Amino acid sequence: MRHQVTRALAKHYRVLYVYWPYEWRRKHRSRFAQVEPNIAVWQAGNLLTPPERLAAIAPLLNMPERIFLKRQIRRFLRKTKIFPVGVVNFDYRHHWIQDNALFPRSIYICNDDFPGLARRAGKVFLAEHKARQMRDSARSADACLATSEHIATLLGARHKTTLFPPGHDLIVPQSYRTTHERTSQRLKVGYMGSIDTRINVQWIQHSAMQSDIEWHMIGPVSPDLLGALASSNIHFHKPVTGPALLNWMQGMDVLTIPFDLSADLSPAFAVPNKTYFYLAAGKPIVVPDLPGFCELGEGIVYRAESAEGFVLKIRQACSEDNETRVQQRLRIASENTWEVRIKELCRLLEP
């Protein structure tokens, strides 16, 4: 998401993308590169970042790094004669960068449930540490943007938090024909994104066993899942972007977000990144009954509560598809581009 926001901001501002390494006891030189006409990248160097668990026990260990980084940032801005209008921070671990002495305005964007991720990994102590860091980032920012109500609640600063669901950067077609010749009698079910432990393998396996369904998945595959998803009815495709991605999605009958309902982080997925990409293709979406998933209207999103229900919803979504619903999906997609989203961010950055 941070890369999408950066590119959208670059249409309105000159953007300096700042990042720093986290390796313990490894030195890096500062680097600067102009990567696109309005985007430059700067990497801080010579850092000594303590391990996260150690920093959680003794927060003062972070102070030397913070002082050093602030000094590097001031020196870099002075040298390059950059006069920033503000900072957009995605990193809950570095709320100190939201310093009005460095930047006139500070916006904190939170797009994930980092404490939930830690709890899922069995790191309960670190989960509490991450929750404090997120609240500190929200407290010190002039404004906050959260991708869901669940995340907005975690930040504890609702009075200055605006919902900021992910958008998309595809060119939405004015219309799209729902009728197309199928290469087989099977319904083509598509999934776009990382194929990792978040997805419900059992639901995919069960639906792939149906004689009228075949799966097409595009994205990086976790090696741990290759065996479980080995089936003649499950096809993997190399990642693509832009018009090629839109064309691939339009070749599907239905698109899915088959996340695992039992995952601790599921409330964070009110609007997964791929939602509006899917709608830009004019396709119905089938999802598990995720807590807090955005309401988009009848015939747009179909929710399932079980593996059997997932298959039924796939068939229902395909059978109910028509031109009117395609137009509804395309309209929703056109209202949720990154260009639309970024206008809110630009408004918050202005004094």
Q: Would you list the domain boundaries of the chain?
A: 2-167+339-349, 187-334
pLDDT per residue as tens digits for the range 93-117: 888 888 888 888 999 999 888 888 8
Same fold, 2-167+339-349 and 187-334: yes
Q: Is it the case that residue 244 has pLDDT exceeding 80?
A: yes
In one letter, which amino acid is 68?
A: F
Are the C-beta atoms of 42 and 16 separated by less than 8 Å? yes
What is the fold, at CATH topology level, of the domain defined by 2-167+339-349? Answer: Rossmann fold (3.40.50)
187-334 maps to which CATH number?
A: 3.40.50.2000
Strand order in the sheet with 39-43: 15-19, 39-43, 31-36
Structure tokens that stand for 237 in this block = 């495709």
- By residue count, the chain amounts to 351
Q: Which of 287, 336, 237, 267 is nearest to 4 (CA)?
A: 336
pLDDT per residue as tens digits for the range 251-308: 999 999 998 877 655 566 667 888 999 999 999 999 998 877 888 888 899 999 999 9
Q: Which of 336, 259, 332, 329 is nearest to 291 (CA)?
A: 259
Are the C-beta atoms of 259 and 287 separated by less than 8 Å? yes
Distance CA 13, CA 38 (A): 7
Strand order in the sheet with 143-146: 87-89, 106-110, 143-146, 161-163
